[in-house]
Chain A
């Protein structure tokens, strides 16, 4: 250990104190609810700040280019971008909230994450401008817009749709004499055959904890009725007693033990698992549709060898077997913004059909939530097919770690790591989740 450290705990505690100090100053002028005015005249001057989740090198040009084009259209406007990655955006957002410096436009997930901003009166009510009968609302997928509905009002601007699929390498499947699995049992048999052929059946990196949570989320949607799930996501009504929870965790453990590198996966990162799959070292990888293009970007896996399927349904599943885990991801407008009409106008520009097509096509491959915002001709065919599966799904199961309050989410994350590592049983994991839910009431 070096005597000097980049970020010491003293610095951290100072950061906490400083953030709270600034927060408490801001609390005096607590945010007031704001409703978007559809007739507001846009003042095309000044600066708007935007916090994105497009910090990755291959994604960041989308917002950079959009900002440049917008500035060109409106020379009096300057767009300042804060681009964060999927892993860092949560921490960054909280630090900005704590210091009352949230940008004019900021990224959000659906579920309890987005609800935090609504509860704190930090999100503009966009119903008058994005509702289903409005000019802008008609250009966006209705299901995506309604995913950001809280208390009957619409607060979010969906940018793209996301869902989880099992990607697979067709060549490795063929080599092992394996067909695309149709049932959960088929999947386990396929894993055994792939192992025999000398490849890792599923590359799985669970260092971050949430990759395991994503498997569990899809299995929960299959095994636990939707109404029970939604009741359990709310701290006041959460019980987590449905037997489908334990059944799901047992199935997840089976996948880990029979298809992946087992307990060691807790030491591998999500990104390294993706790389393993891209390099043709593993046959399957559970990934988001927005990662389809990354999987075939520059590795050994060619686009024509890439296939995907929904995680197969286990036998006797009691939940919604047509559900898929996923959710749109989008942006909110800060109530404290000095130029709300301009911020809204910028997002209208970003979600235009033209920009949607850019976003949906490689190298971004993020299926736009804008109606007509993608063209099958310019997109990866797998993404186009994935969108059809999403459209046919009966329920979009939200990500467990954003649907639940933070303490329950943390219990899922650490509990599933313990399950993968073998130090906890499914029943013990559920006990931990129940305790966390009880303390979050």
Chain B
């Protein structure tokens, strides 16, 4: 095992990587032989993933009437239209809110919770709490949407009833029916559902940290927060980086939650890029414009992914 410090110093720990010399001796033949195993998967990925992405850019430069099949080339008009579309900006703000709140709860919140659970001394309690937090993630989004639809019902819903019981009846409102609260209500539901999933992933990452490091830190007099900051956090940095990427890209791809809960309303206040894309393509027959929105989502998520990978690679700590 090798521990690489931030300065790049490597410490050998005795565990060697697998010997690749046999493969190396085969030279280029090895590469060809290896390639055949992934050929089918490679063709499928090209056809079903990369080709649609490229074709989507092509479609975004056209206007097409799906009923007549007539197509006209419009160049970058659909992208110019994006700039002046107020709903697109509402959607970008909503997606960004989704991303920021999700990173706070599902990355940093989940990290702290996972550390607390893994810090419990008895395994049965660790298992119990992991299960408790993971259960919401096992429920389908449609069921969750319906469940929260009833929780958010004005006056008779669980949330408003609870607020009334604790003397905060002034706070009760139609959470999904008001433009100011609809998107926050959806984001809150999403945190409830995704929190446990992230916690479980962090718990797995924390379990991989050698116990001796904590024991040594305890002997040196490090407290719980010190251990969390100086051991747990650096050694789960890769998982944290991955979770940030997954969470941010997920936030810009969000669709089902919004569709089930509000359909983007009221008055487009809870539209996100995914639902606005759907509205333009499948409701307003404007597939070219829908494809332009899809391209924006693709660029945002791709850039987020690259930025985060670059950052994580720079700060990698290996065991």
* Contact surface of A with B, Cβ cutoff 8 Å: 1-3, 5-10, 12-14, 16-21, 23-24, 26-27, 30, 90-91, 94-95, 97-98, 116-117, 119-122, 206-209, 261, 263-269, 272, 406-407, 410, 414-415, 417-418, 420-421, 423-424
Contact = CB atoms under 8 A, between A and B. Distances in A.
A23 B257 CA distance: 29
B253 A417 contact: no
A9 B252 contact: yes
Contact of A265 (B71, B177, B279, B281): B177
A2 B201 CA distance: 12
Given A1-B190, A13-B277, 9 more contacts: A1-B193, A1-B257, A6-B140, A9-B294, A17-B291, A23-B69, A261-B174, A267-B262, A268-B153
B38 interface: no
B154 to A, nearest CB: 4
B235 interface: no
Contacts of B305: none
Contact of B266 (A17, A98, A266): A266
28 contacts: A1-B102, A1-B106, A1-B257, A5-B250, A9-B297, A10-B298, A12-B294, A13-B52, A13-B277, A13-B297, A14-B49, A16-B59, A16-B277, A16-B281, A19-B287, A20-B291, A23-B64, A90-B282, A91-B283, A97-B66, A209-B263, A263-B178, A265-B177, A266-B178, A406-B286, A414-B265, A417-B267, A418-B266
A5 B255 contact: yes
B245 to A, nearest CB: 10
A2 B154 contact: no
Interface in B212-265: 246-247, 250-257, 262-263, 265
Interface string B105-129: 0100000000000000000000000
B13 interface: no
B263 A414 contact: no
Contact of B253 (A9, A121, A264, A414): A9
B268 interface: yes
B176 A120 contact: no
B251 to A, nearest CB: 6
A207 B176 contact: yes
Nearest to B281: A16
B37 interface: no
B55 interface: yes
Contact of A266 (B174, B194, B279, B284): B174
Contacts of A9: 252-255, 273-274, 277, 294, 297
Nearest to B105: A1
A415 B146 CA distance: 25
Nearest to A96: B66
Interface in B72-97: none
B197 interface: yes
B262 A268 contact: no
